[in-house]
Chains A and B, each alone.
Chain A
Amino acid sequence: MRPAVAAMLLVVAGMMLSTAPVVAASPDLLPARDAFQVSAKLDADGITVRYRVADGYYLYRDKIRFESDPVVRGKPRLPKSLTKHDEFFGKSEIYRGEVVIRIPIRTHDGEQVTLTAMSQGCADAGVCYPPSREVLALTAGGGEVFPATMKRSPSGKSLIDALGGKP
């Protein structure tokens, strides 16, 4: 009875599909590092930091902070943000898509700066990620740099110090 065999296969397929999410707890969410990819480059007139925020994710503007070694005096110039109306936080300024931030400083060829980029964001799916710190070792004229290694624990200042400010 071929139709019955086909039907049984459909039953099995249905059961497998219904149990699929139980096997993997979060198959559809990206790790923070992929959801909020950061890179930076150092040129003669300053640092350009680029965040590539994946579709369906956003970064909070007031959670973007930088530290550098040696300390650079240039104030980061953040681009125009979007206003999100949040049930709990009221109006929040956020970024989606590509975010290009300029930190104007004067450098000479071959100069090295270690930049720590701090950020915090959420997914529209209804989860938020803990604040992240990514360390970028920049050399003037050396091109675009991505974070070197996976770092779960932040070094130096505490994770919460990185957050600062109000929620």
Chain B
Amino acid sequence: MQKPAQVFLVVAVALSALAAGLYFRGSGERVSTTVTAPPAAVMDTALAGLDGRKAKLSDWKGKVMVVNFWATWCAPCRKEIPEFIRMQSRLGPKGLQFVGIAIDEMDKVKAYAQEVGINYPLLVGEIDAVEVSRAFGNELGALPFTVIIDRQGRVVRTELGGTNEAKLGPVVEPLLDAPAN
């Protein structure tokens, strides 16, 4: 290859990289993909389940977990839940476990869960639940907020704002194939 052509190619590749960078930056996604171990206290925070019994995130250790912080009063939260229900049905047998943590009232959560047919465990809390989401990096305490935890208990992705099957699937499915230890 002659020199001018070589320079042209390098510049073209560079400009594409810059454009890609600007594109992804401009997409407005609030995603973190830094792999971290959550503080043990967060995984062991006991919150009330719909059956009245307390549960903690560490109860599902060894599964690939998708922890979704939500509320019935949050419209963008309601939008994504039907996709979570579908994913739980499809990938639950492979070891995927959705857990919903509602910043809400127990009665409203029960009624909504029945209405839309939520097929994964729900925990309900107030400030204690907001604090759990903050510990996962949700500094604003805003909703919806979704955390993916691998079989080793590491946080591999967090996302503030609505998500969907198309975004979660490619992250979750390879984790399901990974061994627990």
Contacts and interface: CB of A to CB of B under 8 A. Distances in A.
Interface residues of A, number: 47
Interface residues of B, number: 51
Interface string B132-146: 000001111111100
A71 to B, nearest CB: 25
B95 interface: no
Task: Kindly list the 7 A-B residue pairs having the minimum CB-CB distance in the complex, ordered from nearest.
Answer: A17-B21, A14-B17, A14-B21, A10-B14, A7-B14, A18-B21, A167-B73
Interface in B19-64: 19-22, 24-25, 28-34
B25 to A, nearest CB: 5
B161 A127 contact: yes
A3 B10 contact: yes
Contacts of A125: 28, 161
Contact of B30 (A25, A122, A159): A25
A159 B11 CA distance: 56
A13 interface: yes
B32 A18 contact: no
B155 to A, nearest CB: 12
Contacts of B22: 14, 17
Interface of B: 6-7, 10-11, 13-22, 24-25, 28-34, 71-79, 103-105, 108, 126-127, 130, 137-144, 158, 160-162
Contacts of B75: 86-89, 122, 128
Interface of A: 1, 3-4, 6-11, 13-18, 20-23, 25-26, 28-32, 86-89, 120, 122-123, 125-130, 152-154, 158-160, 163, 167
28 contacts: A3-B10, A3-B11, A4-B6, A7-B13, A11-B13, A11-B17, A14-B14, A15-B17, A15-B21, A17-B21, A17-B25, A18-B21, A21-B25, A25-B137, A32-B140, A32-B141, A86-B75, A87-B75, A122-B74, A125-B28, A127-B160, A128-B75, A128-B76, A128-B142, A130-B141, A130-B143, A152-B130, A159-B126
A29 B142 contact: yes
Contacts of B16: 14
Interface centre among B11, B18, B141 (most CB of A within 10 A): B18
